[in-house]
Each structure stands twice: as structure tokens, then as C-alpha cells.
């Protein structure tokens, strides 16, 4: 499945909790983290390539 391929290519897992933690770590390093920040999680399906 597509998810399995993505998991092999992306460090870590694809869960929302993992993404939230990693985004928090990033923004804390940038000194711009806030508890009120929203994390938007979207998935896309590749339909066609050239």
C-alpha cells in the first residue's frame, strides 16, 4: 500500500501524535512554538505523472 512505501521513505511514523511532537520540536528550536498553534495534516493521492 501507499502508506507502507511512505513509511519507508519518511523518518518516523505517520501518526498524528508523531507529527505533532516533531512539529513542536522544530518550532521550539526556532523559538516560535505556541500551544495554540494548529497542525494541519493532509494526505494527497498521486493521480498522474508525466
Model pLDDT for residues 19-29, shown as the tens digit of each residue: 888 889 999 99
Look up residue 18 and give its DSSP letter: H
- In the chain, the number of structural domains is 1
- Please indicate, yes or no, whether the overall pTM of this predicted structure exceeds 0.75: no
Q: What is the pLDDT of residues 1-50, one digit of tens each?
A: 456 666 556 666 667 788 888 889 999 999 998 989 887 878 888 898 88
Domain span at 19: 1-50
Q: Is the dihedral of CA 12, 14, 18, 21 positive or negative?
A: positive
What's the CA gap between 14 and 4, in Å, rounded?
10
* 8 Å CB contact between 12 and 20: no
Amino acid at each position: 500500500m501507499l502508506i507502507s512505501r511512505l513509511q519507508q521513505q519518511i523518518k518516523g511514523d505517520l501518526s498524528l501524535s508523531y507529527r505533532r511532537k516533531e512539529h513542536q520540536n522544530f518550532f521550539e528550536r526556532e523559538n516560535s512554538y505556541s500551544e495554540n498553534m494548529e497542525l494541519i495534516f493532509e494526505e494527497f493521492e498521486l493521480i498522474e505523472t508525466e
